[in-house]
Amino acid sequence: MNVKMLTPQEVHTLLQTDPAVVYIDVRTVAEFALGHPRGRVVNVPFLFYHPTTKAVYPNTSFLLVLEDLCSKETPLVVGCDTGERAAQAAQRLLEAGYTNVTVMQDGFSGWRTGGLPVTTDNRDGISYVSHLTRVKRRGKKKTASAVE
């Protein structure tokens, strides 16, 4: 499946003009906290990195959290730092039945280079921890559809 790519400027315009669009930042919690695009943005990491060994682990709650946040028809823009993780996450979303998924090319690096608005806002409703906590409190458990 080929995923549509948008430039950071196109994503910025889309976030300003279409209130249905959700930007899914798939970077780690630490990367996200240092800065991310301003707009309707949520952090749902696709991968985690071990702090000392740097081993890569998939986020087994990735789809679980997104299924709680967005319908399969919600227009999603997926972004990361440079685009690689975003492309992988977008592919996983399409495989899970999401129908309106695009990737921001050049990732957050491109966003910053373009001089687009940045924020460090990481409050409840934006942060990954707040979304994961809400899902867990509702009693949902990791499912087979989660990234393995």
Burial class (CB in 10 A: 0-12, 13-18, 19+), 141: exposed
Average pLDDT in the chain = 91
pLDDT by residue (tens digit) across 95-123? 999 999 999 999 999 999 999 999 999 99
Model pLDDT for residues 64-96, shown as the tens digit of each residue: 999 999 999 999 999 999 878 999 999 999 999
**CATH no. for 4-135:** 3.40.250.10
pLDDT at residue 110, as a whole number: 95
Q: What is the model's pTM?
A: 0.89
Total length of the chain? 148
Average pLDDT over residues 124-131: 92
User: pLDDT band at 138, cuts 50/70/90?
Assistant: confident
Closest CA to 59 of 137, 129, 138: 129
**Structure token digits, residue 2:** 């080929």
